[in-house]
Amino acid sequence: MILKIKNVSKKFKDCDVLKDVNMEMSSGKIYGFIGRNGSGKSVLLKIICGFYYPTNGSVEIDDYNYIEKNEFPKNTRALIEKPSFIPDLTGFENLSLLASIQHKITKEDIDKALDEVNLLSEKNKKYSKYSLGMKQKLGIAQVLMENPDLMIFDEPLNGIEKETADKIRSLLLKKKKEGKLIIIASHIKDDIDGLADIIYKFEDGSVNKIKR
């Protein structure tokens, strides 16, 4: 998989959030986006997912402009900003509901994803009773459970204890070796320094590569 971001700009009213951004990302690598809150990281992630249209430019996967076709990118799962699930359902029920859309995985696959983020013991607790860290873990499990080719994470380690954060880092490195394309955005450089093959810094609408 090759993801190309070509001359992408995004303006909200008179504010230029992104200015002429160009990137090329490929399978088998982890890409890090760093920058302060409000620097445009989440906006670009939403453009990649087709949730926002760019003001200018295009986004392609394997030379197919899926945004122009108003399509969500195939084999992609994302956690952007705060995870949101149905409060009165359990963690497991929420993931089962999402899994029922494509019927690609089993209950055992859902349990495996919950176990990978140390949430299996809390799977039958209602989402409304989850702590911040537990909600974050469920959001990560949602990305992992169908084993997509493109995985997108926005501030994934927010509120997660060190033991689980280390486990998730190891898992993402394993997924990279399996050929996945992974994007991780964070305002904390240390969160992605040991993971990312390439890091892009977001500042004042511009995006520059600082590690390769």
Q: What are the pLDDT digits (tens) for 43-72?
A: 999 999 999 999 999 999 999 998 888 888
Please give the average per-residue pLDDT across 83-103, as a whole number: 96
Q: What are the pLDDT digits (tens) for 139-194?
A: 999 999 999 999 999 999 888 999 999 999 999 999 999 999 999 999 888 888 88
Q: List, as own/partner pairs, every contact residues 122-128 make where C-beta atoms lie below 8 angstroms and the sequence separation is at least 24, other chains included.
A: 122/91, 123/90, 123/91, 123/92, 124/90, 124/91, 124/92, 125/90, 125/91, 126/87, 126/88, 126/89, 126/90, 127/85, 127/86, 127/87, 127/88, 127/89, 127/90, 127/91, 127/94, 128/87, 128/88
Looking at residue 69, what is its pLDDT? 85
The pTM assigned to this predicted structure is 0.93
What contacts 178, CB < 8 A, 6 or more positions away? Answer: none
What is the separation of C-alpha 190 from the centre of its chain, rounded to a whole number of angstroms? 17
Looking at residue 68, what is its pLDDT? 85
CA–CA separation, 210 vs 160, rounded Å?
27
